[in-house]
Amino acid sequence: MPLMMSEEGFENDESDYHTLPRARITRRKRGLEWFVCGGWKFLCTSCCDWLINVCQRKKELKARTVWLGCPEKCEEKHPRNSIKNQKYNVFTFIPGVLYEQFKFFLNLYFLVVSCSQFVPALKIGYLYTYWAPLGFVLAVTIAREAIDEFRRFQRDKEMNSQLYSKLTVRGKVQVQSSDIQVGDLIIVEKNQRIPSDMVFLRTSEKAGSCFIRTDQLDGETDWKLKVAVSCTQRLPALGDLFSISAYVYAQKPQLDIHSFEGTFTRVGLLDLELNQLTKALFLALVVLSVVMVTLQGFAGPWYRNLFRFLLLFSYIIPISLRVNLDMGKAAYGWMIMKDENIPGTVVRTSTIPEELGRLVYLLTDKTGTLTQNEMVFKRLHLGTVSYGTDTMDEIQSHVLNSYLQVHSQASGHNPSSAPLRRSQSSTPKVKKSVSSRIHEAVKAIALCHNVTPVYEARAGVTGETEFAEADQDFSDENRTYQASSPDEVALVRWTESVGLTLVSRDLTSMQLKTPSGQVLTYCILQMFPFTSESKRMGIIVRDESTAEITFYMKGADVAMSTIVQYNDWLEEECGNMAREGLRTLVVAKRTLTEEQYQDFESRYSQAKLSIHDRTLKVAAVVESLEREMELLCLTGVEDQLQADVRPTLEMLRNAGIKIWMLTGDKLETATCIAKSSHLVSRTQDIHVFRPVTNRGEAHLELNAFRRKHDCALVISGDSLEVCLRYYEHELVELACQCPAVVCCRCSPTQKAHIVTLLRQHTRKRTCAIGDGGNDVSMIQAADCGIGIEGKEGKQASLAADFSITQFRHIGRLLMVHGRNSYKRSAALGQFVMHRGLIISTMQAVFSSVFYFASVPLYQGFLMVGYATIYTMFPVFSLVLDQDVKPEMAILYPELYKDLTKGRSLSFKTFLIWVLISIYQGGILMYGALVLFEAEFVHVVAISFTALILTELLMVALTIRTWHWLMVVAEFLSLGCYVASLAFLNEYFGIGRVSFGAFLDVAFITTVTFLWKVSAITVVSCLPLYVLKYLKRKLSPPSYSKLSS
């Protein structure tokens, strides 16, 4: 039966990862201070959690007994095996959406104001003037959330509907992934994703071995060799699994690297900033209302008048702010997905596109994100001669000639006199030819590895046939290689390309095919696998044709330099290759006599039987062989980078974004990719944080790191854990000063913890990008998550806010769309506030003139139309504005640095707009009262017309780059207003006093009316145009200098 195993089970016995401890708890606040500073939130959350626990009646987690093939025997009820990224269900959708909306002060305020209109004493206008805008806002929000939720439902349904073969007593049946139950026997075919946590029972290979990938756990796409449970593997047939009575006793669920936290609702920084400004506006509203009541002298029922003033000035806080921003964000998302320069980009969270313009830290995965995880052999160095990709044909020629000589002499009368045997028995002082050195190096690379060739079954062979080697095709075209490291596969593929092919391998032997077609058989005597401590691997083989025993070893230069014979080129060439971004391996050999090997084997076997210090004794015996080994060659393998990774990282660095690489890979590999991708520039030093295990070592190493300047930091997950336990603040502070940081051997939990620490300590915006299931926790912990659809599946893509197809697309996503989304949202939000402030200022002036009466200046459809058809289209057209052309934003990424300072939306810019609103509102109202004193009955029509013209001109003043739709919006709104004058004459009156016909068409067409309204409008707008012109001349923004 093909692979049946959970990725959890694979790693249980060899996990290198540990979870990070929680950050140190800060000093607790007491009493009232604690309650005001967030204690009330804690109490509410605790109560809610208690209620949820009571309602759900959570059971205590405990160990489980699972019977093979018998789900009905399960003692407890298990959850469904389904993926769910949805935030709501049918019952919680409406309450959940309403809660998300009314938790913002802005919407909660308008709900209270709208409800107050049901009280007759407080009613100051028509009900629809309050409830219609609020209902429209909620309708738009609910519709948007419903669309997002439906898309999430469709994505979940696609994942949960994948079919798998389930083994039953009656045979195989097809079941959906979501219908798999605990205890089912599932047949997982080749190249099929594992649907749940599973136990590996049986495979079609005789030895019970199978290669699996754990890319959804640790991001590594290399194959790992695992072995099935022996008792079930030995069963004669697949159906015999039902003839045995067996169960699996599993420990209780644990929080380990195979778990990650669930989704949560994201709120952008701009939304939080606007929420703070809304609270400031509310404070201004209260102060203004209190001032009005005070100037009234608190006459009559002053508290009722106070509430009426609060309602009159309620437009200071514009309800249209939320709907404009939400519609704007939807427009930004649509623009991103329609951008032909970044095809395949998907916006999964439509609430935070402006976050792309505020990022300071980018935390990226390595495998599959920066690299393709496809290794290519690039360089072979023999000490005196070096071969690159353009001279590989020379190596192929040397190998061909060497084996032709061997074959010709082996076909003679004395096979034992082959050149191979003689050359290896000659003294080391004899200088070997280049051809023989290449031959020995290629043979060493072809033998020293853990690669296994795999062949596809012939077409038409069913899965019922057990162990059908006879039905396999052993041709070169049908062969694939599987190994625990992609570097290993790259080396074996290279030896195949130059003529020496690995054709078969099992636990005791391997076979190589020469260019002439001859098959050489080697017996595997001993195997010493690679470990992170030894940094090398070795193998002892016996050539079946010559009975010669050879010990081959390859490893990192730091481990091999003391093992090989003295030379003067290894260190220098390793440095040269590393600077090119190549992953280097040193290859060496030692020929053993039969007596030497027998002596070693006896000592090795005895060491393995030791009860005390077994590991040390075994290592000591192996090291006795690792002396004065003959240096054969130095290899250079390149992990191919994603397209345009180097220029993209350079662009992000110039934009002021600090890049941290978090990977589960080895330190050497991570450092190599950091160099080759130019994550670390050529001029920067790299400080490798030495392994630390206790507080004292961490203190010393941090002090050593503190003395370094302008250098990148490379630190392992274990050392990071120790430092965070004792010196969390110090480490984060030092790391944030580095131009780049590389964290290797990181578990998914550590990745998420690092993101959380950065957010807490720096208060800067973070972005996480990855492509595997092991990156999901990091993506969800960041302010902005970006997923790449790659070889590691779609988990990261589905869980992220934005999904892209290539890493290089992040450059345009941030520099162009991030910039535009943030700039446009800031301008749109502040202009909508200005629109509410200016009309509230006019109301305040009007009430002051009429002895502080709480009488509305405009009512009915005028108030509704002011925020909708009269000004909505021009104001919303600001989502098309741009200060810099896309080509310029990409060419000069330094412009992005200004965005991270938050200057486009701050209390400074907010106060400027407040002053502009007060000035314009005062001019419009006082101008209407002064210039039209004789025609006072028409003051509403006069002031409202000037107000609409002023708003249209202010939109034109705000726009930096005109779009044809902006011009259409301006004239459309003006046309709508002019056309509506004939139908709204009953609204152009003062309060509830009847003056007869308030709209005299003959009056508004007179030259006097036109020039006086024009004069008021010019006085309100012309000074602002002059100030804008002077500012651009005297202190132009950085982007205007470039565009000029």
Taking a C-beta distance cutoff of 8 angstroms, is the pair 553, 633 a contact?
A: no
What are 930's two structure tokens?
A: 């002064």
Please say whether the beta carbons of 791 and 215 come within 8 A: yes
Q: Reduced to 3 states, what is the DSSP secondary structure of residue 660?
A: strand
Residue 601, phi then psi, degrees to nearest 5: -60, -40
Helix axis angle, 728-736 to 695-706, nearest 10°: 20
683, HSE (Cβ side, Cα atoms, 13 Å): 3
- Distance CA(129)–CA(273), nearest Å, equals 27
CB within 8 A of 648, min separation 6: which ones?
807, 808, 810, 811
As a whole number of angstroms, the distance between CA 164 and CA 177 comes to 7
Cα separation, 332 vs 876, in Å, equals 12
Give me Rg for the CA atoms of the chain: 37
Q: DSSP state, 564?
A: B
CA distances from 136 to 143, 318, 325 (A): 10, 13, 14
Instruction: Report the half-sphere exposure of 573 (CA within 13 A, side-chain side).
Output: 23
Query: Which string of b and e fits 676-704 if b means at least 16 CB within 10 Å?
Result: bbbbbeeebeebbbeebeeeeebeebbee
Q: Is-contact 28 34, C-beta < 8 A?
A: yes
For 61-86, b/e burial (b = at least 16 CB within 10 A) is eeebebbbbbeeeeeeeeeebbbbbb
**592 contacts 630 by C-beta, under 8 angstroms:** no
> Are the CB atoms for 369 and 770 separated by under 8 Å?
yes
Contact 285, 806 (CB under 8 A): no
Q: Give dist(CA 137, CA 1011) in Å, integer.
A: 38
How deeply is 627 buried, as exposed, middle or buried, from its count of CB atoms within 10 A (0-12, 13-18, 19+)?
A: exposed
Q: How far apart are CA 685 and CA 674, in angstroms?
A: 12
Q: Give the H/E segment covering residue 674.
A: helix 667-676
Active site residues: 365
E runs forming strands in 382-518 = 386-387, 452-455, 479-482, 501-505, 509-513
Whole-Å CA distances, 185 to 78, 153, 167, 182, 463: 16, 28, 5, 9, 15
Phi first, then psi, for residue 576 (nearest 5°) are -65, -45
Which amino acid belongs to residue 948? I
Q: Which two tokens stand for residue 651?
A: 């662009």
The letter for the amino acid at 831 is F
762 exposure class (CB count in 10 Å sphere: 0-12, 13-18, 19+): middle
DSSP string for 29-91:
P-HHHHIIIIIHHHHHHHHHHHHHHHHHTPPPP--EEEETT-GGG-SSPPPPS-----S--TT
To which residue do tokens 């006795």 refer? 624
